[in-house]
Amino acid sequence: MYAFSYHKPATAQEAADLMASADEGAYLAGGMTLVPTLKQRLAAPSDVIDLTGIHGLRGIRTLDGKVKVGATTRHAEVAANEHIPVLADLAGRIGDPHVRNCGTLGGSVANSDPAADYPAAVVALDATVHTNKRAIAGDEFFKGLFETALEDGEIVTAVDFRAPSAAAYAKFPNPASRYAVVGVLVARYGDQVRVGVTGAGPCAFRAANIEAALAADFRPGAVDDVGIDYGDFNADLHASAEYRGHLVRVLAKRAVAQIGSADSG
Amino acid sequence: MRQSGEHRIPAPRAEVWRALNDPAVLRRCLDGCRSMRAVADGEFVAEVAAKVGPVRAPFTADIALCDVAPMVSYRLEVRVRGGVAGFAKGSASVRLAEVENGRETALNYSIEGAIGGKLAQIGSRLVESAARKMTASFFERFVADFAASAAPAR
């Protein structure tokens, strides 16, 4: 690790001011991505600004069919919360116990790692991302590989998720890291269907053609004939783009099957 | 790692060729490139600060032009030295063709490369996506550069 100045401000304003005056600042939330990067000397920020001391950023509240999760809430806390079962299920399958007890929702969504789990929930569960400056619709938040709608220095403070009438998250995890090679979250809101995909493309996205097929006929078989354009999907040593395209369809079907069996049971 | 593609550039072939040999244009178009200077005929040295998610990896690249067929094609041999993040080498073949009676130029490219060191070890799942993003952004800016310089002149 290279030397840096460590700060632990008590307010978001103070954190933003520290970032603005830093030569090259980096926000630290759970540190599950930043700390390994620093240890490998792959980044050398002059100032590390720890957001976990900011009051009011941690915790889960419900209001009007929505669940508001504070940005520094740990994955393990979301996993133990029963308000949105699919969100708890997703959070409980992130990484390992160490990651779930350190990693935060805000850190995950602000980083926009293409294989992170939470981004699938942000797009599928009609979320709103709150920052120290504004509210951003979940559909507008992820812009590309490690790119979000956040401006330089902007801090995620909380994310609101809308409770679906039924939902399931199907994931093909990397067996070592538990990152999603592909993850698909299918959520029903009455007759409306929202499908969020992570791991497949440069960032999480909604699969509009799968949504349309499922809105017309909510059965696993309805996804069979949906074309998946894998042209700009990720390819690495774990999976080719074509294979990821295949996984999107398979995992969407599994999620639908899981919802169906829960409905009839 | 391989990538290829084609871009249509709204400028005659001679102008595109000149830009492809101009370090100032290449520097403007390459994301994170802080300097690009010619060290010999057909040889450049570039300083680049690559930024992929949390990773900030400054590196120096030696670039040599090979198999130059003026106005038609060349191959860029790129070697990335040192830096803590690892090393990389690669080549980019570029070919130009006149289209629309010479008013526009079709640029075909193909890139291949390999990386080693720390970046290959821990970042392998992201390297290909990151390289694709950098390539896309380079050609987007390269095309935009022509659109911007062409507009007021005509």
CATH number for the domain harbouring residue A117: 3.30.465.10
Distance (Å) of CA B85 to CA A40, A125, B119: 9, 37, 5
The answer to whether residue B124 sits within a structural domain is yes
Are A183 and A114 a contacting pair, CB within 8 Å?
Answer: no
Determine the Cα–Cα distance for residues B68 and B49; give it in Å rounded to an integer: 28
Kindly report the average pLDDT of chain A as a whole number: 95
Same domain, A178 and A195: yes
Collapsing DSSP states into helix, strand and coil, what is residue B58? strand
State whether ipTM is beyond 0.90: no
Residue of A nearest to B86 (CA): A42
Last residue of a domain, one of A128, A162, A196: A162
Which residues on chain B are in Cβ contact (under 8 Å) with A235? Answer: 128-129
The whole domain housing B71 covers: 2-148
Interatomic CA distance for residues B117 and B115, integer angstroms: 7
Tokens 């700390």 belong to A35
Instruction: Please name which of B24, B29, B15, B35 lies closest in space to residue B92, comparing C-alpha atoms.
Output: B29
Q: Are B44 and B37 in contact (CB under 8 A)?
A: yes
Q: Does A155 share its domain with A230?
A: no
Search chain A and give the residue with CA nearest B83.
A42
pLDDT of residue B154 exceeding 70, the answer is no
Structural domain containing residue A39? 5-52
Label residue B151 by pLDDT band (50, 70, 90).
low
pLDDT at B59 (0 to 100): 84
Give the model confidence (pLDDT) of B94-144 as tens digits. Answer: 999 999 888 999 999 999 888 777 766 666 677 778 888 888 889 999 998
Note whether A249 and A175 are same-domain residues: yes
* B136 burial via Cβ count (<10 Å: 0-12, 13-18, 19+): middle
Question: Could you tell me if B76 and B65 are in contact, meaning their C-beta atoms sit under 8 angstroms apart?
Answer: yes
For residues A29 and A78, membership in a common domain is answered with: no
Q: Is residue B154 part of a domain?
A: no
Q: Residue A236: which CATH number?
A: 3.30.390.50
Residue ending a domain, choose from A119, A141, A162? A162
Q: Which residues of A touch B49 (CB under 8 A)?
A: none
Instruction: Give the distance from residue A237's alpha carbon to the nearest chain B alpha carbon, in angstroms.
Output: 7
- Which of A162, A181, A207 terminates a domain? The answer is A162
Residue A29 has pLDDT above 50, yes or no: yes
Cβ contact A42–B126 (<8 Å): no
CATH of the domain at B137: 3.30.530.20
Please determine, for residue B34, whether its predicted confidence score (pLDDT) is greater than 70: yes
pLDDT at A9 (0 to 100): 98
B24 phi and psi angles, rounded to 5 deg: -65, -40
